[in-house]
Structure 1
Amino acid sequence: MSSSKHSTEKVDTSSESVPDIPALGSEATVDESRLLLKLDWRLLPIITLLYLWAFLDRTNIGNAKIAGLTADLKLEGLQYNVCAAVFFVSYCFFEVPSNMVLKKVRPNLWLSFIMFIWGLIMLCMAFVKNYRQLVAARFLLGIAEAGLLPGATFYLSQWYPRSAYGQRMGLFISASTMAGAFGGLLAYGIEKMNGLRNLSGWSWIFLVEGAVTMLIAFLGLLFLPDYPEKAKFLTEKERAYLVRRLVEDSAGLSKKFRIKYFWQAMQDYNSYLLSLLFLSAVIPAYCFAIFIPTIIEELGFSQANAQLMSTPPYIFACIVMLIVTRWSDKVQMRGPFILGIAVIGIVGYAVWYGTKSATAGYIAAFLACSGTFPNIALILSWAGNNTGGDLKRSVVLAMVIGLGNLGGVASSFVFRAQDAPRFHPGHGTAIGCICITFLTATFLSWNYRRLNVLKSEQLGGIEGKTFDEMGDASPEFRYLL
């Protein structure tokens, strides 16, 4: 996938001025496993914490709902669903611009800034008095939070080679499952503050979580490093080795900021297939995250127990995610694992659809959760792995996450109050979406295999040419299946 010429040419590490990186030499003695572990300890705790709180902030409206939000604001009909959905409308349209800004601005500055802003908005949500104010706050929250997930996904792709990226994405995305688990416990505790300072329990959920978000933003500013070329926590030898390793891993593709790479992303049909894949996976995942307290409550459990019992399925899904992403990295394949997880999700939602038993319904929650959330990590790592060139990758990841998160709009409406307690339309929609995930992943696996064969044939007879501006269309770039 790489050639010797990439180890001797000068590396264009970014559009910014960075220190020269020496050619591969003595740094070849660096122990890569120890280097990756060093990166893990330095990067993953803080970036995972950022995403954990982002996911908690966008889905805590589900916890606020059963803590009295709908009654206090006198929400009727689909008004709660609109409040849940409007977040994703603004969210999806600001992801591509945010990632393009990230390519030009230091990541610790940009990611911390947007996190501080959405924390402030979340805090203000504690004081909304009616439906219109809540809609406006959720819309602004979507704008502010839009850059975190695509930005962090791109950021990690700038640090880890493809052979290690999937497992790290699993650790990172596991924050969403931890947020679901932690969110239920946190909401259960915060709700006990109901009446304190004349604020309802749901107000305290928004107030406390918003204030903590703003605090975490400062931690991101202090502890999140920039890109490998300027990593002070690495030795010069480690820095040189890592940058060279990443260049060779990407077949020496350009890291410059050029608008033509934006158009490469927009004109690549695989960008839209990956977006469809992510969309179909996100809908059942968000259905689960937003409505799991309500679903459990409708199974016959008390309101307080519904908050607590939403936690174990997330913990189980987190374990499954970490196992499959590690295995996926080991065999360097994504598609087959996406298919296997999809089957588990179909079974879980099918049991929900057909059962009246509270016990069976709660067991199905474990299957539904572990059959949806692991695919978020697998699909994002697949998109990052199979997109060549920094700017194109940043745009494609933002497209995939932005268009995919339109699923958040759909998921906000599929579980309607009038469908309780069985929620057949909601569960049926989730099953249909997971089937689309299965079919799209099958086609992409076949297509990537076909394109790799064509690249091998194309490369023959044209050795010595450079393809650094071709993105993943370069004959030297190989797709992961």
Structure 2
Amino acid sequence: MVNSDSSFIDEENLKEKTSVHLHHVFSQEELKNADEALEYALETEGFVLDPVKEKKVLRKIDYMILPMMCMLMTCQLMDKATNSYASIVGLRTDLKMTSQEYSWVASSFYLGYLVFEYPANMLLQKFPLSKTLTFAVISWGVVICCHGACHSSSTFLLCRTLLGLFESFMDPAYMIMTSQWYRKEEQYIRCGFWLGMQGFGTMLGSGIAYGFYIHKNSFSFAPWRLLYIVTGVITIFFGIVSFFHIPDIPSKAWFLNDEEKKYVVERIRKNRTGFGNKTFKFSQFKEAIMDPCIYLFFFYMVGYGISNGSVGNFGSILLSEEFHFSTGNSLLMNMVGSGIDIIFPLAFALVNHYLIPSRLAVGLFINVMVFIGVCMLAFAPESATRLGGFYLTYLTTASWACMSSIVSTNVGGHTKKITANTSFLIGFCVGNMIGPQAFLGKEAPIYFTGKKVMVGTYVLTLISQASLLGIYMWRNKKKMAKDITETGEEEEELQLEFGDLTDEKNPKFIYVL
């Protein structure tokens, strides 16, 4: 095993060997602003990738990185979804929550997420990514355990807000990691894997809640308290494992040998996004806030988040009160939605890989299906049809996987990327805060206003995604019209590959459609 603090080339030798070369190719200011992978990329210039060996390296990355990503995503969604299960096994009764207070319990998580989203992105840029994420994971595991000790709505609301604060690190970290480890064409499938594990997380949480519920007389604690404690302990455990397992950047991977680390660096050359840069660049931030795509990411996620927050927090209540399943069966019926979450994100990624080359076209198809489901849930007269619509809304996870891969692939420049991530996830927070507020207690068990809000706002996702497709097609056409070839001076190539240039400033950056 390679020591976790080592890189594939001794740092002192690397500096001596490449210093002259670096200063010949880049000015001092350009060196300061370049990507972290630049020095390693200089050392691997002319390195020829063997396709057979590259497949073995990719397989090793998948075996070592993806399972850990999937487990942490499982923990995140398991912890976030505990409200939905706890709400029907005594939480609202024991804490004497009104319907309005429960809606705020759902929204308070996203308030914390919203407030800390940009600071979280900045911390992920400034400090080692894996270690920063590990701190956040362990912290939210502790906070989840604290949920089980709450005896009033106010303390529970505080815990939910803190949980949102610490979970705000997770999604941007994974979007950055996906762009660090994988080629552009590989990223959608990997997003499908780790986002699909949302389903396993909600399935596991639902199963744990069901087990505690049917054996509630065997415990001195209320089932919902045990649910929070057990899920919190599971999260803390995997947070500790992550600390030792996941490297901060690919070139420090303990599970790769020297040659394999060279393959990792060479593989991401054509992404033109590198490993990242620890310097905040105001010029990139300014470009981001002038880029209409950043706002489309936001509006897309507002529409997505309203439906996600509604079903995520009121799903068990709808199954119990509107569809008249028993408490135990409602917990089990949640697993159907969890299965949809697991299967379809990856399934649609494979459709994109083998059948339909446009990710955004696949995403539009998914969102049309979700919109049909939302309409069925809101307006269908038959209970069975409304239930079918309820389960169609779970395809939103597949939609998230598609758009997440677009953000990680189509935004160049590290500061611009974290700004795009922030806009994307702030939209997610805003939507998830609005959704539960539209579910009015006086309308139980039908919650007609909440359902109509879901229908009206989901149109945002369709418009935003179609607009992104049009913009990216236009930008690619403009770049190709300049007739830029793949050959060029060494200085130009290095700057375009590892100069931490934005997607708009880099003439060879081609957007994935």
User: Is TM more than 0.5 here?
Assistant: yes
User: What whole-Å deviation, never above 9, does each CA across 1:133-188 have from its counterpart, x for those lacking one?
Assistant: 11111111111111011112211211011100000001010121222222221211
Partner of 2:326: 302
User: What whole-Å deviation, never above 9, does each CA across 1:10-43 have from its counterpart, x for those lacking one?
Assistant: 9955189879642132444553333222111111
User: CA contact under 8 A between 1:187 and 1:307: conserved in structure 2?
Assistant: yes
CA distance in 2, matches of 1:228, 1:312: 37
1:385 maps to a residue whose letter is T
Structure 1 residues 155 and 270, CA, compared in 2 at 3 Å: closer, same or farther? same
Partner of 1:246: 268
Partner of 1:39: 61
1:453 maps to a residue whose letter is K
2:119 is aligned with 1:87: no
Structure 1 residues 416 and 231, CA, compared in 2 at 3 Å: closer, same or farther? same
Match of 2:433 among 409, 424, 429: 409
CA distance in 1, matches of 2:342, 2:308: 13
CA distance in 2, matches of 1:142, 1:253: 27
User: CA contact under 8 A between 2:125 and 2:277: conserved in structure 1?
Assistant: no
2:424 is aligned with 1:392: no
Partner of 2:371: 346
User: CA contact under 8 A between 1:100 and 1:395: conserved in structure 2?
Assistant: no
Structure 2 SS opposite 1:24: coil
Identity %: 23
User: What whole-Å deviation, never above 9, does each CA across 1:67-105 have from its counterpart, x for those lacking one?
Assistant: 111111111240110111011011022122222222232
Structure 1 residues 16 and 124, CA, compared in 2 at 3 Å: closer, same or farther? farther
CA distance in 1, matches of 2:434, 2:102: 13
User: What whole-Å deviation, never above 9, does each CA across 1:231-260 have from its counterpart, x for those lacking one?
Assistant: 232232222122122122217797462423
Structure 1 SS opposite 2:476: helix
Match of 1:454 among 456, 466, 478: 478
Q: How does 1:20-39 map to 2 (within 5 A)?
A: 21-28=43-50, 31-39=53-61
2:201 is aligned with 1:179: yes
Provide the aligned C-alpha RMSD in A: 2.6
User: CA contact under 8 A between 1:195 and 1:201: conserved in structure 2?
Assistant: no
2:221 is aligned with 1:199: yes
CA distance in 1, matches of 2:488, 2:373: 51
User: What whole-Å deviation, never above 9, does each CA across 1:191-246 have from its counterpart, x for those lacking one?
Assistant: 34536664211111111111211111111112223321112322322221221221
Segments of structure 1 that go 5 or more residues without pairing to the other structure are 1-7
User: CA contact under 8 A between 1:278 and 1:379: conserved in structure 2?
Assistant: no
Tell me how far 1:277 sits from its aligned partner. Answer: 1.1
Structure 2 SS opposite 1:472: coil
2:109 maps to a residue whose letter is F
1:184 maps to a residue whose letter is S
User: CA contact under 8 A between 2:139 and 2:166: conserved in structure 1?
Assistant: yes
Structure 1 residues 275 and 454, CA, compared in 2 at 3 Å: closer, same or farther? same
Structure 2 SS opposite 1:421: coil
User: CA contact under 8 A between 2:246 and 2:253: conserved in structure 1?
Assistant: no
Normalised TM-score (structure 2): 0.86
CA distance in 2, matches of 1:25, 1:16: 15
Match of 1:472 among 497, 503, 508: 503
Structure 2 SS opposite 1:327: helix
CA distance in 2, matches of 1:391, 1:201: 45
User: CA contact under 8 A between 1:106 and 1:226: conserved in structure 2?
Assistant: yes
1:33 maps to a residue whose letter is K
Structure 2 SS opposite 1:67: coil
Segments of structure 2 that go 5 or more residues without pairing to the other structure are 1-23
CA distance in 2, matches of 1:158, 1:405: 25
User: CA contact under 8 A between 2:77 and 2:198: conserved in structure 1?
Assistant: yes
2:151 is aligned with 1:126: no
Q: How does 1:340-379 map to 2 (within 5 A)?
A: 340-370=365-395, 372-379=396-403
Structure 2 SS opposite 1:310: helix
Moved more, 236-245 or 263-272: 263-272
Aligned residues: 473
User: CA contact under 8 A between 1:125 and 1:203: conserved in structure 2?
Assistant: yes
Match of 1:380 among 396, 400, 404: 404
CA distance in 1, matches of 2:480, 2:366: 31
Partner of 2:7: none
CA distance in 1, matches of 2:269, 2:276: 9
Partner of 2:231: 209
2:359 is aligned with 1:334: yes
User: CA contact under 8 A between 2:306 and 2:432: conserved in structure 1?
Assistant: yes
Runs of 4+ in structure 1 over 6 Å off: 8-11, 15-20, 251-254
1:479 maps to a residue whose letter is Y
